[in-house]
Amino acid sequence: MKSWKRKWVRLTKTDVYVFDSPTKNTPILTIPLQRTVVSLVASMGDSYLKLDSKKLGKQFIFNAPCKDQAERWVTAINNTIDAGLTRPSGMTQVVHVDFDPNLGYIGLPPEWERFLNEGGITTDEYKKNKDVVDDVLNFQIQRQGDKTNLPSVPAPISQPKQSKAVVEPLPEDVEKVQLKDVTIEQDPREFYSDFEKIGEGASGEVFSAKRKADGIVVALKQMEVNNDNEKLIATEISLMKGCKHDNVVTFYEAFYLPAKKLMWMSMEYMDGGCLTDILENHDIIEMTEPQIAYVCRETLRALNFIHGLHCIHRDIKSDNMLLTNDGHVKLADFGYAAQLNQKQKNRNTVVGTPYWMAPELIRGHDYGVKIDIWSLGIMVMEMAEGDPPYMEFPPLRALFLITTKGIPPLKNAEKWSRDMNGFVARCLETIPDNRADSEELLQHPFMKIACENTDFAQLIADVRKLA
């Protein structure tokens, strides 16, 4: 057998490229993934893998630096081959990063190497946290590549009275629901009047409108429907239809115009804006502990309800906590929400907003409802300090710090009560099994100091005067 020669390998959606040097742009060998079988070669040793290309009529043996890397490559190639057979729009392959002290990062497309460098990941940090860097990078690449992860519009959405909680059965497999199953194929203008634009975001525009039948003012969110977001929108509607609670923004109905590819969601109008509006004025008006405790309690009531339905929200943050002028707080935006079932009690899909994300989600591990509790803990710090931790860093750097350093304590921790510091700590336990759930936190001593909704309404009014 000829002696082994060091080569550099790059995996793409369609091929495996082999290079003589990481600085070369032209590969010396291209192995198409189509009709290729990859496997470990146990008879040769733990670190050997074989690519059997039926298309080329050849077999290629690679000797990886170690068993772990060989297994990673086999998994990555197989996943890429599988994804190529039934690839949804926006899927990306797993990327493995290596580092050479003389050449820098290896196994990374140039644009991602630049991205990693801009994220401020130093060579020392990489050497000490190699697996974490791999996970964080793959996480960020997957987020960038997944075009379906478009957050709904955060916008100011008088609500009719309702019971504290009305439980309607959710579909057994909510993510298989189609848009036609949860929408009305009619123009909303037949049912609503007095349209007035009140917000705009990445996924569409939001209007206030009056329902002709009873004169109730609602929020109508308009979105363009395409192949990338159709499933996401159908899932969001299906979940919102099953979540009727005093602390969840009420969903009324949805209209779909297939010919125009336009969809309208009718929801409760929240005239007090969102929690972010208050936090943007943090330098002028700071939230008090009772006000923070109040928002936490109302959020936990919403989470306790949806978690009881085996639903994860996956995007808890100030933008998604909507307010009324009389001081009520409600959870909105189920664009990232997911339904768990008996067959799938945990998820590993990449969604959410970086600075509020739990470490298990960032690392690509299975996760459950506890990721919402982590995000609540970050939101408490956001209310106390104006911004979430690591907001001064680029997203990739923040993800790296969350997974390696954890979350720093509250600034001026002595300014806040022992109960509040303890509440945050219970939310931000790194190990999910050790993290509190919504039921425990609702009984936490910190909840006892929560203000009344009338006191919170005064805060909303005070902030509005600054506009």
pLDDT tens digits, residue range 183-229? 999 999 999 999 999 887 556 788 999 999 999 999 998 988 888 77
Cα 430 to Cα 362: distance, rounded to the nearest angstrom: 12
Residue by residue, DSSP assigns 367-389 as B-THHHHHHHHHHHHHHHHSS-T
Average pLDDT over residues 379-400: 91
Task: Tell the residue number behind the tokens 């996924």, with chain if given.
Answer: 203
pLDDT of residue 314: 84
Which range among 99-113, 309-323, 422-436 has the greatest average pLDDT? 422-436
pLDDT: is 36 or 13 the higher one? 36
Nearest to 136 by CA among 375, 352, 360, 387: 360
Least confident segment among 82-86, 325-329, 360-364: 82-86
Asked if 233 contacts 124 with a C-beta cutoff of 8 angstroms, the reply is no
Annotated binding site for ATP: 221
User: CA-based Rg of the chain, rounded to a whole angstrom?
Assistant: 25
For residue 129, count other CB atoms closer than 10 A to its CB. 16
Task: Tell the residue number behind the tokens 């036609």, with chain if given.
Answer: 180
pLDDT of residue 48: 87
Average pLDDT over residues 432-439: 96
Catalytic annotation, residues: 315
pLDDT band at 23 (very low <50, low <70, confident <90, very high): low
Residue 149 reports pLDDT greater than 80: no
pLDDT of residue 367: 86
Asked if 73 contacts 41 with a C-beta cutoff of 8 angstroms, the reply is no
pLDDT of residue 173: 53
For residue 442, count other CB atoms closer than 10 A to its CB. 15
pLDDT of residue 99: 58
pTM of the model: 0.68
Least confident segment among 145-149, 285-289, 397-401: 145-149
Cα 467 to Cα 465: distance, rounded to the nearest angstrom: 6
pLDDT band at 26 (very low <50, low <70, confident <90, very high): low
Average pLDDT, the chain: 80
Phi-psi group of 303: left, alpha or beta (phi > 0 → left; psi -120 to 50 → alpha; rest → beta): alpha
Residue 150 reports pLDDT greater than 80: no
50, β-bridge pairs: 39, 61
pLDDT tens digit string along 307-339?
Answer: 998 888 888 999 899 999 999 999 987 655 444
Which range among 71-85, 137-151, 406-420 has the greatest average pLDDT? 406-420
Asked if 69 contacts 47 with a C-beta cutoff of 8 angstroms, the reply is yes
Least confident segment among 115-129, 218-232, 254-268, 434-448: 115-129
Burial degree of 131 (CB within 10 A; 0-12, 13-18, 19+): exposed
pLDDT band at 82 (very low <50, low <70, confident <90, very high): low
pLDDT of residue 165: 42
Residue 375 reports pLDDT greater than 80: yes
Give the amino acid at 457. Answer: A
Average pLDDT over residues 10-35: 76
Residue 440 reports pLDDT greater than 90: yes
pLDDT of residue 387: 92
pLDDT of residue 339: 41
pLDDT of residue 104: 58
Beta strand extents in 101-191 (DSSP E only): 104-106, 165-167
Share above pLDDT 90 across residues of the chain, in percent, rounded to a whole number: 40
Annotated binding site: 221
Residue 376 reports pLDDT greater than 90: yes
